[in-house]
Amino acid sequence: MLLYNSLTRKKDEFRTAEPGRVKMYTCGPTVYHYAHIGNLRTYIMEDVLDRYLRFSGYDVLRIMNITDVGHLTSDGDTGDDKMLKGAKREHKTVMEIAQFYTDAFFSDCEKLHIRRPEVVQPATGCIDDFIRVISALIEKGYAYLAGGNVYFDTSKLEKYYVFQDFREEDLEVGVREGVEADENKRNKADFVLWFTKSKFEDQELKWESPWGLGYPGWHIECSCISMKYAGETLDLHCGGIDNAFPHHTNEIAQSEAYLGHPWCPHWFHVLHLNDESGKMSKSKGEFLTVSLLEQKGYSPMVYRFFCLQSHYRKLLVFNWENLDNAAQAYQKLVQRIAALLGTDAAPDGEKKEALLGAFRAAMDNDLNTAQAITVLYDVLKADADAATKLAVIAETDKVLALGLIEAAQAAAEAPAEEIPAEVLALVEQRKEARKAKDFAKADALREEIAALGWEIRETRQGTEITKK
Ligand code: AMP
Ligand code: ZN
């Protein structure tokens, strides 16, 4: 399988240290708020990769951390503590916030058919491991104490900037908002491994350490949690593109300094999902969540389909029109599959393999999910019987996890219900609003219709109304 590697900046043949076994690490969520659908794009694409590796015969050990301490809003060592901010906002303790949003994250994942990793480890459960590794880094001369904090000394590395996708000016103090000078740092790229002195007097969670009462920096958790469960090397490390710098760069720096050898040869980064205003952010008041999509009448599977329609290395822009288009395409696909149901025939093994070959070719080419979906349409058009087509779709859905067969079965079983006059009236009003380009009103009407249990989609043939 060819898979783009951010370290080599090209598509590499994916290899593992041990034949047939993948040790895969995923940076988990910072659990101070709900995940936005941008975060979930990353987890969906990582899930497809995970599932495809299993589909290809690998035994996958997947590890994910939960960041419940130490992540500051700037991603560097400045800004507010994200967890503390969440706790203050909701008048809860940090641990209550962490538990609530961890559960919310996995509930979103379940709705989106994102597999739960074999290992899910909150950072606060591994403080002893962090202290052990930080102590070793100090002993080896890679870390120093200054002003009460422990810093990693990036000047001790032959090569610190391992990824291309980062801009040196991001580090310039004062150039980027929120970056403040830390007089304790020997080099501007140095980063905190352990805080005892920070601006957060009211930091709730603190632990005893050889350097005083304090708490870990953000980056150390992923190195330590990975080593705890996967040992001294990984095969594959994943995250959103914003993690490449500084987070992953720092993970590599401290892991390799500690281990004394290369740590992970393959880095998989998912490009961002932005809204039309630019960056998607959790701090902008109301933000896009799975629940919000559901409230507006979209099934989480439609969002997964929307993500899979584009390549993970392309920036994806979210707007409601694009999501409507995905909803239509998904529904059509389901209806065409529903029409194949009800056959008892055995699939034609040879044809099935040939059709699956096209699917594999798409996925083997840097996880081309958009092409894989095109293959689904080709399967539906193929010169093969219904049983064979269904068998192929069922196989591909082990990877795409779009719930296609289940949705088709539900569609085939659901009796057609008459559309109430009330709904039809609202649909008419919405058409008018759209014509007048009053999209806010059109959105509100869509919600009213959804509240009545109906879903509407614009198709080239006109408006389609279906029971939710
Ligand atoms: P966080 O909860 O902020 O630690 O982020 C969780 C994951 O979402 C990380 O892998 C981030 O790189 C990723 N991420 C953050 N913002 C976006 C976005 N707009 N689109 C896609 N992935 C994102
Ligand atoms: Zn990480």
**For ion ligand 2, residues whose CB falls within 5 Å:** 27, 222
Provide mean pLDDT across the span 213-218: 92
Identify which ligand lies nearest to the alpha carbon of 241: 1
Same domain, 250 and 386: no
Mutate to test the pocket of ligand 1, among 242, 274, 288, 316 (most ligand atoms within 8 A of CB): 242
- Crossing angle of helices 94-111 and 37-55, in 10° steps, is 60
The pLDDT-based confidence of 197 (bands split at 50, 70, 90) is confident
Task: Tell me how far apart the alpha carbons of residues 302 and 324 are, in angstroms, rounded to a whole number.
Answer: 9
Q: Are 52 and 178 within one domain?
A: yes
Between the CA of 319 and the centroid of ligand 2 the distance, in Å, is 29
Pocket test for ligand 1, best of 6, 37, 39 (most atoms within 8 A of CB): 39
What spacing in Å lies between the alpha carbon of 308 and ligand 2's midpoint? 24
Residue 108 pLDDT greater than 90, yes or no: yes
Locate the ligand 1 atom nearest the alpha carbon of residue 82 and give its number: 3
CA of 245 to the centre of ligand 2 (A): 11
- Scored b (16 or more CB within 10 A) or e, 96-132 reads ebbbbbbebbbebbebbbbbebebbbbbbebbebbbe
- Final residue in a domain of this structure, among 252, 270, 288: 270
Burial of 206: CB neighbours in 10 Å, binned 0-12, 13-18, 19+ = middle
Token output for 229: 């469960």
Nearest residue CA, atom 8 of ligand 1? 39
- Of all ligands present, the nearest one to the C-alpha of 39 is 1
Q: How far apart are CA 449 and CA 295, in angstroms?
A: 11
Give the pLDDT score at 81: 84
Q: Which one of 70-84, 160-174, 431-445 scores highest in mean pLDDT? A: 431-445
**pLDDT at residue 351 in the model:** 97
Which residues form the pocket of ligand 1, taking CB atoms under 6 Å from any ligand atom? 27, 29-30, 38-39, 41-42, 67, 239-240, 242-243, 270, 272-273, 280
Is the domain of 85 the same as that of 163?
A: yes
**Same domain, residue pair 306 and 394:** yes
Residues 62, 211 share a domain: yes
Tell me the residue length of the chain.
468
Q: How confident is the model at residue 174 (pLDDT cuts 50, 70, 90)?
A: very low
Predicted local confidence at residue 85, as pLDDT: 86
Q: Are 380 and 389 in contact (CB under 8 A)?
A: yes
Domain limits for position 353: 275-413
3-state secondary structure 380-426: HHCCCCHHHHHHHHHHHHHHHCCCHHHHHHHHHHCCCCCCCHHHHHH
Candidate from 26, 31, 42 with most ligand 1 atoms within 8 A of CB, to mutate = 42
Measured by CA distance, the residue closest to atom 5 of ligand 1 is 29
Q: State in Å, rounded, how far the first CA of the chain is from the last one.
A: 39
Q: How far apart are CA 443 and CA 428, in angstroms?
A: 13
What is the Å distance from ligand 2's center to 187 Cα?
22
Spacing, Cα 35 to ligand 1 middle (Å): 8
Q: What is the mean pLDDT of residues 276-300?
A: 85
The CATH number assigned to the domain holding 406 equals 1.20.120
At residue 285, the pLDDT reads: 63
Q: Are residues 392 and 428 in the same domain?
A: no
Rounded-to-integer distance, Cα 150 and Cα 215, Å: 11
Percent of the chain with pLDDT over 90: 75
* Residue at which a domain ends, from 270, 300, 316: 270
Last residue of a domain, one of 270, 302, 334: 270
pLDDT band at 183 (very low <50, low <70, confident <90, very high): confident
Ligand nearest to the CA of 269: 1
Q: Are residues 249 and 287 in the same domain?
A: no
Please identify, by atom number, the ligand 1 atom nearest to the C-alpha of residue 27.
Answer: 10
User: What is the spatial distance between Cα 148 and Cα 137, in angstroms, rounded to a whole number?
Assistant: 16
SS3 of the chain: CEEEECCCCEEEECCCCECCEEEEEECCCECCCCCCHHHHHHHHHHHHHHHHHHHCCCEEEEEEEEECCCCECCCCCCCCEHHHHHHHHHCCCHHHHHHHHHHHHHHHHHHCCCCCCCEEEEHHHHHHHHHHHHHHHHHCCCEEEECCEEEECHHHCCCCCCCCCCCHHHHCCCCCCCCCCCCCCCCCCCEEEEECCCCCCCCCCCECCCCCCEEECCCHHHHHHHHHHHCCCCCEEEEEHHHHHHHHHHHHHHHHHHHCCCCCCCEEEECCEEECCECCCCCCCCCCCHHHHHHCCCCHHHHHHHHHCCCCCCCEEECHHHHHHHHHHHHHHHHHHHCCCCCCCCCCHHHHHHHHHHHHHHHHECCCHHHHHHHHHHHHHCCCCHHHHHHHHHHHHHHHCCCHHHHHHHHHHCCCCCCCHHHHHHHHHHHHHHHCCCHHHHHHHHHHHHHCCEEEEEECCEEEEEEC
Are 133 and 246 within one domain?
yes
Q: Separation of 271 CA from ligand 1 center, angstroms?
A: 9
* Whether 428 and 306 share a structural domain: no
In this structure, are strands 119-122 and 191-195 parallel, antiparallel, or unpaired? unpaired
How many independent structural domains does the chain possess? Answer: 3
My answer on whether 40 and 187 are in the same domain is yes
Tens digits of residue pLDDT in 385-411: 999 999 999 999 999 999 999 999 998
The reply to whether 332 and 206 lie within a common domain is no
Q: How far is CA 398 from the centre of its chain?
A: 18
CATH of the domain at 30: 3.40.50.620
Protein residue with its CA nearest to atom 14 in ligand 1:
39
Ligand 1 atom closest to 273 (CA): 20
> For residue 30, which atom of ligand 1 is closest to its CA?
2
- Statement to judge: residues 191 and 291 lie in one domain: no
- Report the C-alpha gap between 117 and 229 in whole angstroms: 12
Nearest ligand to the CA atom of 65 = 2
Closest-approaching ligand to the CA atom of 108? 1
Q: What is the mean pLDDT of residues 320-341?
A: 96
pLDDT of residue 179: 52
Residue ID of nearest Cα to ligand 1 atom 9 = 240
Report d(CA 248, CA 335) in Å as an integer: 43
